[in-house]
Amino acid sequence: MFPEQAAILTADPRLRAERGLAAARAALAAGAFGKAVGLVEAAEGGPIDTAGRVQDQLLRGRAAFFGDGAADAVGDLVAAAALDPDRTRWTPHPGRPGRGTPDGTGARDVA
């Protein structure tokens, strides 16, 4: 709740948008997926740079994935990868080490 209040009370539009995205990350971590999407939408009203847009799409995708299922998340995660391809990387799958990639090192992940 504190990050959300910080965003609401911030006068500078750019900083308010950044704090809104931080509040959305906190809401997502707390399992409040709908709240996270609402905070992302509020942050979109401010000036957000490319990194902010990537965060925006990642947060939307993650909220959709955990809230509604993987099918709803794909569009947002692909949009985030299109904005910043360098953030798409191979990461190990925690439950199945050594599986998931052609070379057996992990699973493809966006973020």
Give residue-wise pLDDT tens across range 77-93: 777 777 777 765 545 44
pLDDT of residue 93: 45
Nearest-angstrom CA–CA distance, 32 and 9: 21
Question: In this predicted model, what pLDDT tens digit does every residue of 8-58 receive, in sequence order?
Answer: 888 999 999 999 999 999 999 999 988 998 999 898 888 888 888 888 888
pLDDT of residue 17: 92
**Exposure pattern of 78-110 as b/e (b: 16+ CB <10 Å)?**
ebbbebbeeeeeeeebeeeeeebeeeeebeeeb
Confidence (pTM)? 0.68
Task: Enter the tokens of residue 50.
Answer: 């490319």
CATH topology of domain 2-86: 1.25.40
